[in-house]
Amino acid sequence: GNSVTQMEGPVTLSEEAFLTINCTYTATGYPSLFWYVQYPGEGLQLLLKATKADDKGSNKGFEATYRKETTSFHLEKGSVQVSDSAVYFCALKWNTGFQKLVFGTGTRLLVSP
Amino acid sequence: DTAVSQTPKYLVTQMGNDKSIKCEQNLGHDTMYWYKQDSKKFLKIMFSYNNKELIINETVPNRFSPKSPDKAHLNLHINSLELGDSAVYFCASSLLGTDYEQYFGPGTRLTVT
């Protein structure tokens, strides 16, 4: 079936450290890929997306590249801030049919000063 | 200027009771969704409505019944609540189409005792 696998958390970093959160997917065809972020006590917000192979999504210093050959969409940021502490969800969505998002299990990021 | 709102934010109730959660969006979207997030933060879609018509109905117990009185509202009624129904329920909305982002509400934390 179609699924998304994320690295287990929590990921604990010091401010200004480099961040990578791994995400791989299993799917037939070519879905669109997303990263959502959930800050404490809030709903999910779209962070970035990529709709086809080799696309790079970027926002707020975060980046992720759609790699068809490795079925991956790893999230990276060069220098994290305390305010980036949140839960990050990788997700996929089909480009045809109804707009069902399939989420990974989420990765909690904790950034200390 | 809230985009997607849910009421109530918190709901504590006893097993066997019936409860409803309401969702409203003022974004002019034609599609709305209910997601369930369990205690491990895993997010899974439950239902989706497009123009008041049910388009996604995942494997959810019959005790859960969504209702969409109009495009801007999607309510979730739960009968005979069980301990396992304790979770955070998120409403989301979007336009129907592959390029459109889903906007999430702040969530309703349901606790069944």
| Percent of chain B's residues with pLDDT above 70 | 96
For residue A18, the model assigns a pLDDT of 98
Average pLDDT score over residue span B83-102: 88
Whether residue A101 and residue B41 make contact (CB cut-off 8 A), yes or no, is no
Contact assignment for A43 to B105 by CB distance below 8 Å: yes
Mean pLDDT for the stretch of residues B22-50: 92
Long-range contacts of B71-74 (CB under 8 A, 24+ apart): B71/B29, B71/B30, B71/B32, B72/B24, B72/B25, B72/B26, B73/B22, B73/B23, B73/B24, B73/B25, B73/B32, B74/B23, B74/B32, B74/B33, B74/B34, B74/B47, B74/B49
Does B98 score more than 80 pLDDT? no
Query: Does the pLDDT value for residue B74 go beyond 70?
Result: yes
pLDDT for A97? 63
Look at A26-30, B3-7, B20-24, B71-75 and tell me which has the smallest mean pLDDT: A26-30
Task: State whether A103 and B104 contact (CB < 8 Å).
Answer: no
Residue ranges of chain A with per-residue pLDDT less than 50: none
For residue A35, the chain B residues in CB contact (below 8 A) are none
3-state secondary structure of A83: helix
Identify which of B48, B97, B107 has the shortest CB distance to residue A43: B107
Which of the two residues, A96 and B53, has the higher pLDDT score?
B53
* pLDDT value of position A33: 93
Cβ–Cβ of A105/B107 closer than 8 Å?
no
Instruction: Give me the pLDDT at residue A55, please.
Output: 95
Kindly report the backbone phi and psi dihedral angles of residue A8, in degrees, each rounded to the nearest multiple of 5, phi listed first: -70, 145
**A101 SS3 class:** strand
pLDDT at A101: 86
Residue A51 contacts residue A104 (beta carbons within 8 Å): no
